[in-house]
Amino acid sequence: MLRWLKPVLALLTAVVLAWVLNTKQGDVPPVARLLSPYQGFWQNGESAADFPDQQTLRLPGLHQTVRVRFDDRRVPHIFADNDHDLYYAQGYLTARDRLWQMEFMTRVAAGRISEVVGERALEYDRFQRRMGLPFGAENSLREMLKNDTTRLVLESYSAGVNAYISQLSPREYPFEYKLLDYAPEPWQPLKCALLLKLMAWDLSGRSDDLRLSNILSKYGPDVTRDLFPDFPFRADPVVPDGTPLGFQPLPVPPAPVPFAAAVSGLVPTREPDAELGSNNFAVAGSRTASGRPLLANDPHLQLNLPSIWYQVQLHGPGQNVYGVTIPGAPAVIIGFNAEVAWGVTNVGGDVLDWYQLKFKDARRREYWHAGRWKPVRRVVERIAVRGRPDRLDTVLYTHHGPVVYDQNETVFNKQTPVRHALRWTAHDAAGANEVLAFVKLNRARNYQDYDRALRTYASPAQNFIFASRSGDVAIRPNGLFPLKYAEQGKFILDGSDPRQDWQGWIPMSQTPRVLNPARGYVSSANQHSAGPGYPYYLGWDYAPWDRAHRINGQLARMRRATADTLRELQNDDLGLNAQLMLPWMLANLPAAVATGATAAPATAATTTPATSEASARRLLARWDYHYSAEAVGATLFELWYQELVRRLWEDDFGKQATGLEMRLPARDRTNQLLLSEPRSPWIDDRRTPQRETTPDLLTTSLQFALDSLTRKFGPLGPKWAWANQKSTDINHLAQLPGFGHQDVVCGGSPGSVNATGPRNGPSWRMVVDLATPVRAYGIFPGGQSGNPASAYYDDMLESWRTGRLDELVFLQAADENHPRLQAAWRLEK
Amino acid sequence: MKSFFILFLLIFVLASLAQLLLPWWVVLPLCLGLAAWRGGSARAAFGAGLLGVALSWWLPAAWLNLNGAGLLAGRVATLLPLGGNSWLLVLLSGLLAGLVGGLAALGGAWLRVSK
């Protein structure tokens, strides 16, 4: 018996070891399967032979032959003889480069991450579903499939993606599937719709309604109106003041008596990213060297790898368009053709509101509205969880929308109020068809085509900028905007009062707009859509004016502009906030600080030598307000100003001091108070017996900034460079160490035109010169390939970092010669 | 020594071929069977299994590391974390598979003795 023990023990050990190495253990990948050179990641390598200069691929489902040329950035230029083949090829080639990313993002949108990573994503998945992203996507898909054009586009694109997926054996799965140990699933048009909703969430899914209601209840209407005004002191709206309306406005619903919402003490765990934004601008021929318009666009999103965008040229019947696409969605989103160019920036309008509900009883089957009890619709969400039984979650739907949280259990995003129904344009689909809008823009030849294309574009609302070779420049904040009475939805609304329901929509023909203004340029940078002359209330909380005002100032000075002039403006790093505030801050900083004689008692034990305060002051006085990579002044000012603002408001609006969840007044209002209301009671720290003044705040906050920077970087010196403090990171979507780029040395700041921050920044920079022939330039911080083994994963990063653009290869015919073309493929049925 | 060398060669060749078509853990029954059939001493069998299987990984991994997968291997070696050294990753992953092969061969050799 004993003689069997040894072999059995050895074998048992081998079997257990093999099992452990072959199985995903928690977050640890199946090590041996991942590392096997026969099946694992080694098979994902990319050598020259993997990308032949000439080849013919057999793809079932194509109707005719499609020809594809690749340039030296691996951008596919697709030439198809019919629309089906064109979008089929787009789907196929996008999947070839980005399959994992596009599929993963649809899982993010749909709340299906638990299926891949297990229980730890459960609350995230519940949240996505309760916010109604899949609900909105299904509504949207229904409309898009009703339309013959978009049905063809979506189904062809999906067929192309599936053609690629069906070719793959497990050893060919993209790297991330092997790491996370799962397999791609068939693509469906619904996934395209989900990606649109994810965009809507990123760009319009934030709301301060709860915080504002808490402020209103604590400080009353006068303070709220004073500190949270609907229109800023410094403004430079997208549609300039004085632009003729050109329409007869609809009557606005009457405002009911304000509603006193219940105070809610929730704590946010995930703050909205206020700095997501974008720039676009176009100059008319009167200001350009060629006499034809120029257009530029740079959407600022979270910087990730694989890149957010994928470049493509689509040549088919009635169209030849180039631009960037969202991997997983058909058609070009931002781009140009021989006649027109267009781009988008986000509109900060308020299209998401919360309604406080009154349920009949604890069973929550009925809610009170318009004087009677109405039934709640219950929708059961089934969430698949890896390694666990499916989880069921019942979501309550009212006529407003879903109740994101209906009971006090674990709350993922605590910004979401409890027992409130969500009303959000991303759920509305009647008449909306965003894919159709982009398909039409791709084919647009003039302003009328642009105008017609935008009519079905609903969510997320965007500032669509436009320029044509025939000389038009235009912009319009476009999308589905509820027809609101003033300040409707600035605070929590009463879900039982029908007068507080959304009453209808601003007609698509009455969104703010401007065509060929006398000033010879149009632009947007997420600021207010229109001035006070616009008849409808759109919202109150837009991005500060800094970027917009700098852009307009520079555009107004342009004469004989070229594409390079616009490129330089995209890279402009002047900080208007610093320009406005720093002289005042230095002038009001007590001289004592400069000599180091006094500091607030609390910071008396500082390690910062007094000389560094004097040199800091000298350095700041010499700083030119440019957020260049090496600027030390930028580092110092940013932290000083940020600390000043914190110390100003923390005692009045901070959670710790007040016990309430509130937000701080906007930067514009804060600056106004600092600059012109020196005796404002808000300046005093109400937690201390003595009365603080602005010089006190300036002193203590500068002291704090110096201390913390000295701790971080050592004594004042070149290490304090802005690039080090800002520390721009471009991370892999799954946050994999080694798969991104940390501490990219580049200039810019969230408030300057080159809006590069720690994690967000220009995700695509494009400049189009609408001369004959059209010439265009573009770059994004990554590459065309989503494969981390490929040289084309991040080959554009260095050009992006240094502010350069690639000339974009825009072909007229499939057999055209161009020195930058590298490969010619044929896709045949 | 001779029996070690023959077993090592058999394991290396057959494991390499088998893994082209079958999952990597085919090395387990393979080493077990080969060692039970031809194995010499326990020590020789373990060594032959370890090195035979490891070599069946080292060679293709080294080749791929030099031909197209080096960049990715460096990233994976950062992720694991092995300081981004892809050759260390080649070495360690081969040893890991080799350990399974070695243990299986050891079991096979002992099985042969106990019959």
Cβ contacts (< 8 Å) between B108 and chain A: which residues? Answer: 7
Q: Is B65 on the interface with A (CB under 8 A)?
A: yes
Q: Is B82 on the interface with A (CB under 8 A)?
A: no
Residue of A nearest to B91 (CA): A35
> A122: burial class by Cβ within 10 Å (0-12, 13-18, 19+)?
buried
Q: How confident is the model at residue A267 (pLDDT cuts 50, 70, 90)?
A: very low
B38: Cβ contacts below 8 Å, ≥ 6 apart: B3, B6, B7, B10
pLDDT reported for residue B9: 92
d(CA A369, CA A553): 50
Neighbours of A25 (CB within 10 A): 10
Q: Is B6 on the interface with A (CB under 8 A)?
A: no
* For residues A390-419, average pLDDT: 73
Per-residue pLDDT tens digits for A484-531: 999 999 999 999 999 999 999 999 999 999 999 999 999 999 999 999
Which residue segment(s) compose the domain that B33 sits in?
Answer: 2-114
d(CA A404, CA A428): 17
pLDDT reported for residue A350: 93
Does residue B72 come out as left (phi exceeding 0), alpha (psi in the -120 to 50 range) or beta? alpha
pLDDT reported for residue B6: 87
Q: How confident is the model at residue A265 (pLDDT cuts 50, 70, 90)?
A: low
* For residues A195-224, average pLDDT: 91
pLDDT reported for residue A271: 44
pLDDT reported for residue A268: 39
pLDDT reported for residue A270: 45
Most confident of A77-81, A270-274, B2-6: A77-81
Residue A26 has pLDDT above 90, yes or no: no
Residue in the block written with tokens 């085509």: A449
- Complex ipTM over 0.90: yes
Residue A748 C-alpha from the chain's centroid: 18
Residue A466 has pLDDT above 80, yes or no: yes
Helices (H), A168-208: 175-180, 189-204
d(CA A516, CA A474): 6
Out of A3, A17, A737, the one facing B114 most closely (by C-beta) is: A3
Q: How confident is the model at residue A210 (pLDDT cuts 50, 70, 90)?
A: confident
Say yes or no for a CB contact (<8 Å) between B104 and A43. Answer: no
Q: Is A737 on the interface with B (CB under 8 A)?
A: yes
Tokens in use for A73? 């950035």
What are the sequence ranges of the domains in chain A?
Answer: 2-202, 576-726
Q: How many domains does chain B have?
A: 1
d(CA A475, CA A199): 21
Interface test with B, best of A5, A23, A38 (most B CBs within 10 A): A38
Closest approach of A39 to chain B, Cα-based (Å) = 8
Interface test with A, best of B19, B20, B78, B110 (most A CBs within 10 A): B110
Residue A408 has pLDDT above 60, yes or no: no
pLDDT reported for residue A282: 97
Cβ contacts (< 8 Å) between A45 and chain B: which residues? Answer: 64, 67-72
Mean pLDDT of chain A: 91
Q: Is B97 on the interface with A (CB under 8 A)?
A: yes
Per-residue pLDDT tens digits for A676-731: 999 999 999 988 999 999 999 999 999 999 999 999 999 999 999 999 999 999 99
Contact A295, A770 (CB under 8 A): yes
pLDDT reported for residue A412: 46
Per-residue pLDDT tens digits for A130-188: 999 999 999 999 999 999 999 999 999 999 999 999 999 999 999 999 999 999 999 99
pLDDT reported for residue A791: 94
A79: Cβ contacts below 8 Å, ≥ 6 apart: A66, A67, A68, A69, A315, A316, A813, A814
- Determine which of A227-241, A274-288, A289-303, A626-640 has the lowest per-residue pLDDT on average: A274-288
Say yes or no for a CB contact (<8 Å) between B70 and A45. Answer: yes
Out of B20, B73, B103, the one facing A14 most closely (by C-beta) is: B103
CA distances, A249 to each of A133, A252, A443, A671 (Å): 32, 8, 31, 34
Mean pLDDT of chain B: 90
Where are the extended beta strands (E) located within A89-235?
A: none
pLDDT reported for residue B113: 75
Residue of A nearest to B64 (CA): A42
Domain covering A2-202: architecture: Orthogonal Bundle (1.10)
CA distances, B46 to each of A339, A552, B41, B58, B108 (Å): 72, 75, 9, 18, 9
Per-residue pLDDT tens digits for A333-387: 999 999 999 999 999 999 999 999 999 888 889 999 999 999 999 999 999 999 9
Residue A602 has pLDDT above 80, yes or no: no
pLDDT reported for residue A44: 95
Residue in the block written with tokens 């009925």: A366
Residue of A nearest to B90 (CA): A35
Residue of A nearest to B84 (CA): A738
Tokens in use for A287? 């200001």
d(CA A201, CA A190): 16
Tokens in use for A509? 């023909």
- Determine which of A199-208, A276-285, A288-297, A541-550 has the lowest per-residue pLDDT on average: A199-208
Q: How confident is the model at residue A592 (pLDDT cuts 50, 70, 90)?
A: low
Residue B79 has pLDDT above 50, yes or no: yes
pLDDT reported for residue A6: 84
Per-residue pLDDT tens digits for A91-116: 999 999 999 999 999 999 999 999 99
Residue A407 has pLDDT above 70, yes or no: no
Per-residue pLDDT tens digits for A637-687: 999 999 999 999 999 999 888 888 899 999 999 999 999 999 999 999 988
pLDDT reported for residue A109: 94
DSSP A357-368: --BSSTT--EEE
pLDDT reported for residue A242: 87
| A–B interface: beta-carbon pairs under 8 A | 130
Residue A611 has pLDDT above 60, yes or no: no
* For residues B14-40, average pLDDT: 90
Closest approach of B64 to chain A, Cα-based (Å) = 6
* For residues A198-221, average pLDDT: 90
Q: Is B110 on the interface with A (CB under 8 A)?
A: yes
